[in-house]
């Protein structure tokens, strides 16, 4: 049907011409009707032959798709993992997990971007991403949230700063120097303000920021000390800075969030396994 001749069919099937002739004759005898008319070495399909070919060809194509699918599965998982994370986890934590994930599963692509806490729930619930990795637990009734590590806020200062002489920095120590904190409208800022209030120390920041990397850049420029998350402090390109723990601990709880309604993505499970093993 495809080649139009016994010679062409023999070449296509890598068999001899007599073998093709025997197969056709045997098939026609079994079916009880002719598949081809022979004309000057060519095979002209009969009406019955063309009708049967259309039916068989569909089955053949389906069988080939199944075969290709099975071959694809044998090569390992493929597809795409979609995820987002808090910006502070994009310096070291998530990139390290992505590197190990892509090394282990080279046929799975990754779409990755950072997002703010207040937009993460919408991203997951709208299926824009398969999961989010947040520096703080998300609160939403339709999210499945799992904490996978324990972190904390730290104090960063220039190498030459007086606070660099201390092993641990108390909130009261910070009152003597210009301080950079997050704006009180965002979660980090609220947490720092609550810690100062609990310690009975007045919080009077010289500069407030919305992004941790800006706070670290300001510290490196010599504008003062800052309270930031440890992931940005340790993972970013902040040469010339010192990091000290705080006496009054301000804890962080990095978490993974997925939709309780969303499809279960095997790729996401594989990534979570790698991420949790790193911390």
Give domain status of residue 113, yes or no: yes
Query: Contact, 252 vs 147, CB < 8 A?
Result: no
pLDDT at residue 56 is higher than 90: no
Q: Classify residue 224: in a domain, yes or no.
A: yes
Q: What pLDDT, on a 0 to 100 scale, did the predictor assign at position 62?
A: 72
84 lies in some domain: yes
Summarize the confidence of residues 34-44 as an average pLDDT: 79
> In degrees rounded to 5, what are phi and psi of residue 249?
-65, 135
80 touches 109 (CB < 8 A): yes
pLDDT tens-digit readout, 71-101: 545 554 558 999 999 999 999 999 999 999 9
Give residues with Cβ within 8 angstroms of 178, minimum separation 6. Answer: 206, 207, 223, 224, 225
pLDDT averaged over the chain?
88
Strands 179-182 and 207-209 come out as parallel
Q: Quote the pLDDT of residue 9.
A: 62
Q: Clarify whether residues 98 and 211 are in a common domain.
A: no
**Percentage, residues of the chain above pLDDT 90:** 66
Over residues 36-53, the mean pLDDT reads 79
Q: Write down the pLDDT at residue 14.
A: 75
Regarding whether 135 and 262 lie in a shared domain, the answer is: yes
Residue 148: what pLDDT?
Answer: 93
Final residue belonging to a domain, choices 74, 96, 111: 74
Q: Dump pLDDT digits (tens) for 169-208.
A: 999 999 899 999 999 999 999 999 999 999 999 999 999 9
Range of the domain at 44: 6-74
* Same-domain check for residues 243 and 263: no
Which of these, 176, 191, 154, 192, lies nearest to 224 by C-alpha position? 176
Whether residue 242 sits in one domain with residue 157: yes
Say whether both 231 and 114 belong to one domain: no
CATH number at residue 63: 1.10.10.10
- Please identify, among 56, 74, 92, the residue that sits at the C-terminal boundary of a domain: 74
- Residues 212 and 191 sit within 8 Å (Cβ to Cβ): no
Assigned domain for 203 exists? yes
Instruction: With beta carbons less than 8 A apart as the criterion, state whether 101 and 81 touch.
Output: yes
The reported pLDDT for the residue numbered 21 is 80
Q: Indicate whether 144 and 259 sit together in one domain.
A: yes
**CATH code for the domain of 194:** 3.40.190.10
In a domain, 60, yes or no: yes
Grouping H, G, I as helix, E, B as strand and the rest as coil, residue 6 is helix
Burial class (CB in 10 A: 0-12, 13-18, 19+), 186: middle
Task: Determine, yes or no, domain membership for 193.
Answer: yes
Residue 1 belongs to some domain of the structure: no
Residues 52 and 84 in one domain: no
Write the pLDDT tens digit of every residue in 98-132: 999 999 999 999 999 999 999 999 999 999 999 99
State how far the alpha carbon of 170 is from the alpha carbons of 122, 201, 204, 207, in Å: 38, 10, 15, 19
Task: Provide the domain count of the chain.
Answer: 3
pLDDT at residue 67 tops 70: no
Do both 258 and 233 map to the same domain?
no
Residue 237 shares a structural domain with residue 220: yes
Among residues 32, 53, 74, the one where a domain terminates is 74
CA gap 209, 214 in Å, rounded: 7
Q: What does the pLDDT look like over 235-253, one tens digit per residue? A: 988 889 999 999 999 999 9
83 with 108, same domain: the answer is yes
SS3 21: helix
**Residue burial 87-123, b: 16+ Cβ < 10 Å; e: rest:** bbbbbebbeebbeebeeebeebeeeeeebebeebbeb
Q: Is residue 138 situated within a structural domain?
A: yes
pLDDT for 98: 97
What does the pLDDT read at residue 51? Answer: 79
Better-predicted residue by pLDDT, 67 or 56: 56
Q: Do residues 105 and 27 both lie within one domain?
A: no
| CA dist list (Å): 87 to 56, 170, 180, 226 | 56, 26, 18, 17
Helices (H), the chain: 6-13, 17-31, 47-74, 93-104, 117-125, 171-174, 187-199, 212-220, 230-235, 266-278
> Is the per-residue pLDDT at 273 higher than 60?
yes
Between 45 and 176, residue with greater pLDDT: 176
pLDDT digits (tens, 9 = 90+) for 5-27: 667 666 666 778 787 788 888 88
What integer pLDDT is reported at residue 25 of this predicted model? Answer: 85
Check whether residue 172 and residue 203 sit in a common domain: yes
């Amino acid at each position: 049907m495809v080649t139009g001749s016994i010679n062409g069919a023999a070449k296509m099937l890598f068999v001899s011409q007599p073998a093709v002739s025997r197969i056709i004759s045997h098939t026609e005898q079994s079916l009880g009707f002719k598949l081809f008319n022979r004309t000057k070495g060519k095979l002209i399909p009969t009406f019955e032959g063309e009708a049967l070919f259309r039916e068989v060809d569909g089955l053949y194509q389906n069988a080939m798709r199944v075969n290709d699918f099975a071959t694809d599965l044998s090569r390992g998982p493929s597809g795409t993992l979609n995820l987002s994370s808090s910006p502070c986890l994009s310096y070291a934590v998530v990139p390290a997990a992505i590197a190990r994930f892509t090394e282990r599963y080279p046929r799975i692509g990754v779409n990755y971007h950072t997002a703010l806490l207040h937009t993460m729930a919408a991203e997951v619930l709208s299926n824009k991403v398969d999961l989010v990795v947040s520096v703080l637990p998300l609160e939403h009734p339709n999210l499945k949230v799992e904490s996978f590590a324990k972190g904390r806020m730290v104090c960063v200062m220039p190498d030459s700063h007086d606070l660099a002489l201390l092993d641990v920095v108390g909130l009261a120590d910070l009152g003597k120097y210009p301080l950079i904190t997050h704006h009180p409208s965002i979660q980090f800022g609220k947490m720092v303000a609550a810690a100062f209030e609990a310690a009975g120390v007045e919080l009077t920041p010289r500069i407030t920021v919305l992004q941790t990397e800006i706070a670290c850049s300001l510290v490196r420029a010599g504008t003062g000390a800052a309270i930031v998350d440890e992931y940005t402090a340790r993972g970013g390109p902040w040469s010339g800075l010192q990091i000290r723990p705080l006496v009054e601990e301000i804890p962080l709880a990095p978490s993974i969030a997925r939709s309780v309604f969303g499809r279960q993505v095997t790729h996401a499970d594989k990534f979570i396994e790698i991420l949790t093993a790193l911390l």
